[in-house]
Amino acid sequence: MEGENVAIEYRFAENQTDRLAELAADLVRRQVSVIAAMSTIAAVTAKAASKTIPIVFQAAEDPVRLGLVASLARPGGNATGVNFFVGELTAKRMEFLRELVPTAERIALLVNGSNVVSEFEVRDMEAVVAAAGRQLIVADASIGNGIEAAFASAVDQNADALLVSADPFFSTRRRHIVALAVHYRLPAAYPWREYAESGGLMSYGPILMDAYHQIGLYAGRILKGERPADLPVRLPWRFELVVNLGTAKALDLTVPRIMKLGADHLVD
């Protein structure tokens, strides 16, 4: 119970990723019992700050490839958590997007170049898009470049559709991103249902609250004495497809009947 037998120290970088190292170092100095890292870059930063304090992470990219764990089944170190399978899910979102826009040849990928994950995302998507016989346009919306500039660049390169990365930097700006996609009449697929509910065309991905719940459970088990090394990295167990019918109509797109039937939620 918070305030009785546990105290929670909150730290927010406010989308300034260069502050994460300082915040992680502060938590290490305070000798906290466990660190909950709620994004991939936060997890990587926490892992670099301490090899002994338990870390429970939410990772968009493969935590083995990032060096957070030795394996998913047996993490083997001081970190464990939830992995979102971003590469695989982005490829699936592209499939759904192509069902809505079958003529799309040039696919733009909106990424945050300042995030360590973006390099992996681009590399994975290059292979997926090439296999589909399409062209990939990388729209870098890192903090220095700006989201508006990234959209303008994609449009200048004649992008037919857009995939948005599951980056926290974008999640906090989802209404702005959705508005730009609508403004440029660019059909877009998003990682979380909150985008589609905010006017985005469609989303496909895991349910965030499930991941937050699992992180809380793991943090509790660690506080009771279990080791991260013995707690396997969990994978999403529920995925949802959300389609915004109003946005599809505004973009003059026809949503296939099979997609409507398969959707977990339709937004009017």
Instruction: Return the HEC string of 59-114.
Output: ECCCCCCCCCCCCCCCCCCCEEEEECCHHHHHHHHHHHHHHHCCCCCEEEEEECCC
pTM for this one?
0.89
Where do we find the tokens 């464990």?
80
Residue 9 lies in a domain: no
User: Cα separation of 37 and 115, whole Å?
Assistant: 15
pLDDT for 132 equals 86
- Do residues 24 and 137 both lie within one domain? no
- Do residues 174 and 54 both lie within one domain? no
The dihedral sign for the CA sequence 74, 78, 80, 86: negative
- Do residues 61 and 119 both lie within one domain? no
Residue 10 lies in a domain: no
| Number of other residues whose CB lies within 10 A of the CB of residue 233 | 23
pLDDT for 183 equals 96
DSSP secondary structure code for residue 254 in this structure: P
pLDDT for 124 equals 85
Long-range CB pairs of 19-27 (<8 Å, 24+ gap) are 20/45, 21/45, 21/48, 21/49, 24/48, 24/49, 24/50, 25/49, 27/53
- Do residues 62 and 161 both lie within one domain? no
- Do residues 48 and 178 both lie within one domain? no
Domain count, the chain: 2
Residue 1 lies in a domain: no
Domain that holds residue 166: 86-206+239-267
Where do we find the tokens 């990772």?
59
- Do residues 254 and 214 both lie within one domain? no
pLDDT for 114 equals 79
- Do residues 77 and 59 both lie within one domain? yes
pLDDT for 168 equals 83
- pLDDT under 50 in the chain at which residues? none
Sheet with strand 188-190: strands edge to edge: 135-140, 106-111, 161-164, 188-190, 202-206, 239-244, 265-267
Looking up residue 184, the CATH number of its domain turns out to be 3.40.50.2300
Residue 140 lies in a domain: yes
pLDDT for 44 equals 94
pLDDT for 143 equals 59
DSSP secondary structure code for residue 17 in this structure: G
- Do residues 180 and 255 both lie within one domain? yes
Residues 6+ apart with CB under 8 A from 217: none
DSSP element (H, E) containing 202: strand 202-206
Treating both helix axes as pointing N-terminal to C-terminal, what angle do 40-49 and 20-29 enclose, rounded to 10 degrees? 50
- Do residues 68 and 158 both lie within one domain? no
Residue 33 lies in a domain: yes
- 78, two tokens: 């001081």
pLDDT for 3 equals 86
pLDDT for 178 equals 97
- Do residues 107 and 194 both lie within one domain? yes
Of 169, 130, 181, nearest in space to 38 by CA: 169
Predicted confidence (pLDDT) per residue in 82-95, tens digit: 998 776 788 889 99
- Do residues 55 and 133 both lie within one domain? no
- 83, two tokens: 């992995």
- Do residues 40 and 159 both lie within one domain? no
